Amino acid sequence: MTSTERTVSPLAPEQGPGMPATMRAPTFDDPARWAAEARDELHTALRAHGAVLVRGLDLRTPGDVAAVLGQLGVEPVVEKEAFAPRQCHSPGVHSSSAWPPNQPMCMHHELSYTLGFPHVLLFACLSEPITGGTIGLADAADVLRTLPRTLTDRFEREGWLLTRSYNGEIGATVAEAFGTDERDEVERYCDAHAIAYAWQPDGVLRTEQRRSAVVRHPADGRRCWFNQIAFLNEWTLAPEVREYLVDEYGPAGLPFNTRYGDGGAIGEDVVQIINSAYAQRTVRPPWQAGDLLLIDNIRTAHSRDAYEGPRDVVVAMAAPDGPDTCSPTIEV
C-alpha cells in the first residue's frame, strides 16, 4: 500500500456533537509529507466546514508545525500589531499569546483589526494541559444572525474603534507590536495602515483605528461577524485588573479598549450580549497531544478556556487577507 493510499482514504470528515469536522490521519513518521499529499482534501474540507480537526499526525515540535504549514501552499503571515507578546519560532509560526492561564480568552478573529490579517490559522497541540485549555469555535455567520439586529445594524453603519496605549505593563510593547521602537518607522507603519497615533509627553504611544465589524466571505459572500469588539473591550478584563489599570493610567490609558465607530462607549451589557451570542454557537473539541486544528479565520471565531497545568499550543498564521478581498460593510 502506498503512502498516498494510506493518507487519502481516511479524509472523509466526521462531525459529532460538540466537534468540528474531524479527519483521522494515520500514524505517520513525516507529518509534512502527509500534509503535502492531503493538501487538496484539507483545503476542500476547510472551505466546506470553516474548521477542521486532524488527529493522528503526532505533531511534537514547532518545527513539525512549520513543516506542515510549508506544504499547504499558503503564504505565512508575519504578525504585526500583536496585543500580547509571544515567541516567533519561524515565519508565520508562533507560541500562543501570553495570557493568564486562569483567565479565558473570549471569542475573536485573529488580528481582525489589522489590514493584513491571516485567512488561515493552524493550531497544534504539542502537549495538553491537565484540565481545560480547549479552543472554542463559533460560526461567524451564525453569530451575526444570533445578535440583536439593532446592535449589528449600528456596527455595520459605524464599524468599531480599537484604542491602544503602549504603557509597557500589560500587553505588547511598541517594539513587540511593530517590530521596532523607532518613532519614524512606527509612524510610517501607522500612516500606511490607517492608524491614528499620538505620542504622550511621557513617551507612551496611543493609537486608534476604525475597522469594519461585518465582512463578506470572499468565497461565497456570506456576511460574517468579524472583529474583536468584545475580546479587547475593557469589560472583558478581570474586574480587579480593570480597576487597577483605570486607577493607574486613567480610562484613556488602558492598554486596549473598543468603542463604537462614532467614538461612543460600549457598555458592559453590550459585551455580555455579544459573548452570550458566541456561547450559544460555540463547540469545544477537547485537545489531544499531536492534534492539528485548521481554522478559516473569517468564517470561524475562536477562544481559549482557562486551564491548569502545562499547555503547549503552537499557532501558525497564513494566507494574508484584507478589506479589499473581504468586502467590508464600511470603508476603513
Give me the residue spans of the domains in the chain.
3-136+284-326, 142-276
- Identify the weakest region by mean pLDDT among 39-48, 49-58, 80-89, 133-142: 80-89
Cα 298 from Cα 29, distance rounded (Å): 32
Residues 64-93 pLDDT 10s: 999 999 999 999 998 899 988 888 899 899
User: Percentage helix, strand, coil, to 5, in the chain?
Assistant: 30, 30, 40
Task: Say what percent of the chain tops pLDDT 90.
Answer: 68
Q: Are 135 and 291 in contact (CB under 8 A)?
A: no
What average pLDDT does range 305-311 have in this prediction? 88
- Cα–Cα distances in Å, from 82 out to 109, 164, 192, 271, 317? 13, 11, 17, 22, 13
Question: What number does CATH give the domain 142-276?
Answer: 3.60.130.10
Give residue 205's identity as a one-letter amino acid code: L
Helix (H, G, I), strand (E, B) or coil at 50: coil
pLDDT class of 3 with cuts at 50, 70, 90: very low
DSSP 236: G
Helix (H, G, I), strand (E, B) or coil at 91: coil
DSSP 263: S
What average pLDDT does range 272-296 have in this prediction? 94
Grid cell listed for 109: 478573529
Alpha-carbon 97 to chain mean position = 10
Cα 54 from Cα 45, distance rounded (Å): 11
pLDDT class of 166 with cuts at 50, 70, 90: very high
Using alpha carbons only, how large is the chain's radius of gyration in Å?
20
For the chain, the first-to-last Cα distance in angstroms comes to: 54
pLDDT of residue 56: 87
pLDDT class of 4 with cuts at 50, 70, 90: very low
pLDDT of residue 298: 97
pLDDT class of 316 with cuts at 50, 70, 90: very high
pLDDT of residue 20: 85
Model confidence, pTM: 0.91
Give residue 88's identity as a one-letter amino acid code: C
Helix (H, G, I), strand (E, B) or coil at 318: strand
Q: Kindly state the helix (H) or strand (E) to which residue 185 belongs, with its residue range.
A: helix 183-192
What average pLDDT does range 32-46 have in this prediction? 93
Fold matches, 3-136+284-326 and 142-276? yes
Residue with cell 479598549: 257
- Cα–Cα distances in Å, from 198 out to 172, 180, 232, 264, 307? 17, 16, 20, 20, 37
Grid cell listed for 63: 518545527
pLDDT of residue 299: 96
- Right CATH for 3-136+284-326 from 3.20.20.70, 3.60.130.10, 3.30.870.10, 3.40.109.10: 3.60.130.10
Grid cell listed for 176: 513587540
What average pLDDT does range 147-164 have in this prediction? 97
pLDDT above 80 for 156: yes
* Angle CA 272–150–106, to nearest 5: 25
Grid cell listed for 127: 502537549
- The length of the chain is 332
